[in-house]
Chain A
């Protein structure tokens, strides 16, 4: 674990080395998020609420989403780059190290632009989330589970590259979970809604954690923990099995 922390620290130092670029990228992402907040504020001037979601709840959802996705795509940036890494043979150098390959990969690259999301999400929660010790604790727990779930899902679909040889399914899956988790899951109905709580667990990435902050519920919390655990286990298994099929340009394999 100490090694993982050291790798993460090195990745952070690398990402923040060019201070001006770092702060520029953070600012751009914050501006992007502000546009979405503007969208929701305009939307709710016309519509008081949508299926139980009013402006405050949606902004809470957005705070969870930006913080969680910022951590997953920023701190664990390689979670969505598995297809690229496999296609380029970039796993070779990781396989020579005496560490867990997946854990090392996940923390070895930081994308600064997404850290802007995290900063924005925390500030948004403090501004509109009516933080109390309990709500803040649920926010932190919800964000961490959301991060783990999103990263696990992206690793899982990225592992399709070991079989298909391309990253198409990964691109589609990434689009799907990020777009679908940006909106309250309750706006969808029927099969689509079912999909959001199972195959593409977008409902658990932001809607469920946001609901838990407002109204703590043991069943929702258990479901969130369970689905995160399932996807984490699936991601780990898929990556481990996938490594057996991995062949780089130099033909190295992990036995």
Chain B
């Protein structure tokens, strides 16, 4: 029992420290909140103007599009933009080799740290985001029951995104330069993840592709729920992607670390 508690501490301590560092960085928080609100207001203005023309867009009213935009942005803005790049750099420069000396999973501690920071920032963003979206569009559709779905969806979205960014960055174990990876990843989340536009807006073929990829679990799911579409099955989809993401992360980091052990850092 004590061993389990000790093992859990390896992940809770870095997560807690990262969360405290996030809260202590006041200027960083101001910039993050400002950027989040700016992008959310801009996107929601665009979609409101679009819906105003026809009354709705792809089944979303102007108000639900507002909630969609604020939710999708919150799920994405909680994570450092160039996380893939940062992790890849730390793998490529050998920082990760020092972490391999610890008696704890390298990827586990890394995930705990980033999740501590990202989930804290998500919580911070959701407060002014909800207030502003409420001011613009009124209360969220289906307020009571939806909260029970939306909050876990946010947590799962950020967690899947963070884990998949680690998976993408693990390419650095094998490749010398993955500078474009973060960029490509970000764009996939923007379009196929439903951050810029609901998946229902995509052409049929593209929507089919998007619905088969993990990116939709990172922005579309919490945004769709926040927009008032009760679909608990989306949480099941997220849970499925979470399992896949964890398995992938563990496997690629294990393989990468083996390579470092054999060839040197």
B31 sits at the interface (CB 8 A): yes
- Binding stretch for chain B, among A152-160, A170-178, A208-216, A217-225: A170-178
A-B interface pairs (CB < 8 A), number: 73
> Please, how many angstroms separate the alpha-carbon atoms of A159 and B253 in the complex?
45
CB distance from A89 to the nearest CB of B (A): 21
List, in ascending order, chain A residues with CB within 8 A of B34's CB.
172, 175-176
- Binding stretch for chain B, among A37-45, A96-104, A123-131, A136-144: A37-45
CB distance from A54 to the nearest CB of B (A): 11
A56 sits at the interface (CB 8 A): no
Residue of A nearest to B180 (CB): A28
Interface contact B27-A168, CB-CB below 8 Å: yes
Interface contact B197-A50, CB-CB below 8 Å: no
Residue of A nearest to B30 (CB): A168
- Binding stretch for chain B, among A7-15, A59-67, A180-188, A235-243: A180-188
List, in ascending order, chain A residues with CB within 8 A of B180's CB.
24, 28
Interface contact B191-A39, CB-CB below 8 Å: yes
Choose from A45, A168, A176 the contact partner of B203 (Cβ within 8 Å). Answer: A45
Choose from B30, B39, B187 the contact partner of A35 (Cβ within 8 Å). Answer: B187
Q: Give the interface centre of A24, A45, A187 by most chain B CB atoms within 10 Å.
A: A187
Residue of A nearest to B177 (CB): A24
A198 sits at the interface (CB 8 A): no
B154 sits at the interface (CB 8 A): no
Categorize the interface residue count of chain B: 20 to 34
Interface contact A50-B53, CB-CB below 8 Å: yes
> Please, how many angstroms separate the alpha-carbon atoms of A32 and B49 in the complex?
25
> Looking at chain B's contact residues, is the secondary structure mostly helix, strand, loop, or mixed?
helix
CB distance from B223 to the nearest CB of A (A): 16
A48 sits at the interface (CB 8 A): yes
Choose from B31, B53, B206 the contact partner of A49 (Cβ within 8 Å). Answer: B53
CB distance from A119 to the nearest CB of B (A): 17
Residue of B nearest to A178 (CB): B38
Interface contact B31-A47, CB-CB below 8 Å: no
> Please, how many angstroms separate the alpha-carbon atoms of A182 and B30 in the complex?
22
List, in ascending order, chain A residues with CB within 8 A of B201's CB.
42-43, 46
Interface contact A47-B50, CB-CB below 8 Å: yes
List, in ascending order, chain A residues with CB within 8 A of B97's CB.
none
CB distance from A21 to the nearest CB of B (A): 10
A-B residue pairs in contact (CB < 8 Å), sample of 20: A39-B196, A39-B197, A42-B202, A46-B58, A46-B201, A47-B57, A48-B53, A49-B53, A50-B50, A166-B27, A168-B31, A171-B31, A175-B31, A175-B34, A175-B38, A183-B45, A186-B49, A187-B45, A189-B45, A192-B45
New A-B pairs, 14, CB < 8 Å, besides A43-B50, A47-B57, A187-B49: A28-B180, A32-B183, A42-B201, A42-B202, A46-B58, A46-B201, A50-B53, A172-B30, A175-B34, A176-B38, A179-B39, A182-B42, A186-B49, A192-B45
